[in-house]
Structure 1
């Protein structure tokens, strides 16, 4: 891309007025008419500067706004003058400003430090010099080039760019060469055509200033102090934290069987046969397991023989007229008969049956055959197959916020994305110790058919919960400020300490 293409492209993009003759043609004409055209070395220097400025105009023309254009211009020029310090600053037209007074530096970009703020010492020093440029009527060393001018100020070279002849907006480029090398910059300035600087000014000021919103935000940032921002932020945080929300109480949840029945050994006996294992469905009256009745049968046979002997003794005594002996034999027979009835009753309990219809959830004695059982020892647990319930462990400090019929949301890792919603049915009046914590137990009914996937109330049928699953529960309490959950206990402890 040559200089003519850059200028034409930028004219179409921004609609700004450029010089009548394209800069590239005028530079070429200036080079052709130059007295140094025959000097090949000088021509090469001019062509080198020409190519350098083409790249600068390219990055300016591609920039979306003036800030990006300034940053790109300084960085690109730093590549051509690597050991030089380059800064670019500009001011926009303000109310009451004139071409010679009222100018204030608006933005400043440094090739080494980046964008400088107003509290920076370099910014403050250059701002003073920026305001004095137009106050000097004909400063020594100033070369006027229409929309652009070049001057030497102390150790700096200043390139001034104006938006128009009235200088409604203008920018300054400060270039400070190394202490031992001013020849490069001097040669660079001498070989720089006037039309190139004018084109640079036109292209730079054709870039739009930041949008209204950014200007407004910049003014707000100037006005806004750190103390004010912290104060407003604190007030906003307090306002948000005081928004009333439903107080949530976290609790541990465990799935238990609703109306489950435990089946225990009815007598002291040895386990003989097991008919059911966990997971098997049972109906009322169906055999679950059998106990060994051989010792009872042996004892029953012995008692039967003794009863017959006592009956004979009673009959013989009555025949001999021995009334007293007959009465003693009768009492002995009655006692033995009572013992026989007890043994018969125990033998009727050798086959243990299911008390309800349901499913066996605990008790696998398949590998414990022949083990002596004690009366009352739990062997199996049977739960109804149509429903389960959830046991909640409510922390002691939160029990005051749990009401009957409060909404509960349950989540169990074992069932993934399933949501369970229910209500508190009952809360035990006394606390108990669970996992070294003092908690209150609450019961919530949870029919397995009410579980829905992803909380969808349409009721997609899912796999029932399994007894023993553990998860997390959230009990919905009364309305309280959002921050109340975190500050309630510290405030209460602090009040206790200070006696409030």
Structure 2
């Protein structure tokens, strides 16, 4: 039963429902009901819905909403995403004008220890901006309740993970403290039985398609012919064959085979049995079985913890078992296995592979080819001009998009100039008044007054010219014929922009340069003047020749490797190229080298460096 249902059916107050909420979802339902009631009490707010969002996979997911039957609108979801991305309160929708209502969606992020875990949102139709501001203050004030609820939920989850980590670490320490696998396995199952209050914990290892019991808690020795051992092995096989944990008796709706567990429980009097398969080295290597009496069933938290502990100690136990073998046994096993596969029957693919490798080495030693260097490449404009406003303002119009061609003087961006227009009107009115007074002074032949008024008229003309210049500067125009390469402002109309903030980038049409990211191991072969070819992802069938013009002497780290930027100038027909295209470039270094020398060069360079580091070569 949700908090909203409790309030409706039991007459419980929203405050009490919020304070006594048992989980995060109940708290969200109670909080949205309470917040919607508080906002409704404010005149002129006209609230529609209140919602709590939880961040999942990078996007907001509805956790609780009032009313429950209403889903958040598009503006609400957009406001929630913007609030998460910007880390601050966001208001979306049509802002209200005087005497008119606006459809507003507001979202406030819930940040806990530097991470935004969720958001709270409010949809309303306020009558004016004052009402909107008051509602936003209430929403931000009330968000502290949900922030505390999420902090408490996170603390509970952290405590649970900490407990699991402690148990897992203790189990690993128990295994690691023992040198031999038999003693380590016995210590592990005995420790687990004591720690989790189990009657018996057993460990089995998978060998040749069957499970053999390796250790039983509180037992130093046991006979593999015992009925108990056979039943334990059967239960472990049952879990491993199904590749899943098995709980008996299982009250959930999951369909699992539990016949082996039932036989073990009936024969040994165990009331509850839980078996976890052990996964290590990309295979199921065994299983652990936990047994409890009828009056001590496994809780879900205990099942999760047992599974987590088994998952952690499985690789440790497997490595302990493998490490316990004789070294000569390990080496002999590897050599014997590989040699038998190579000269014995079967494994034709391996034999063919060895023959092909020998043939290829001989062939490539004789073959000669061009030596080329490949590098990631991208296309940029030869010159890029950033379009930025000269003063703070609001975006009123942006008629162009990335990819549009523009001519010199075309309008790219227009800022809101209404305040400047009003200022100009005020100045024009003041000038007209000064002109009238000037004419009166001339008619009265008052020379002093005439000079004063003439000076004021000149000052007004200068101010009007200044405002006209500012109005003109609200219209950002193309500095030359070119192509818009970045800056999509179609979704930002009406938003505030700062002075100097980059809005668009324009590149001359038809003038490009190519940036190649050459690996540091190959940069020594690159010199200015070398030629190469470029193919971009968008035009894989077209080749663009280029010539190296500049080698940047500074390296940078990119995607796990150190590269140098090499700049080149393309030639030929470049009408199909666009700034921002990416692809690959090939540089021609030499026209006559052995193929095996080209291919083995990275290995030879690496080996030469390592040998020099070890002092084996000069």
TM-score (norm 2): 0.34
TM-score (norm 1): 0.41
Structure whose CA Rg is larger: 1
Task: Flag the structure with more relative contact order, 1 or 2, with Cα contacts below 8 A and sequence separation at least 6.
Answer: 1
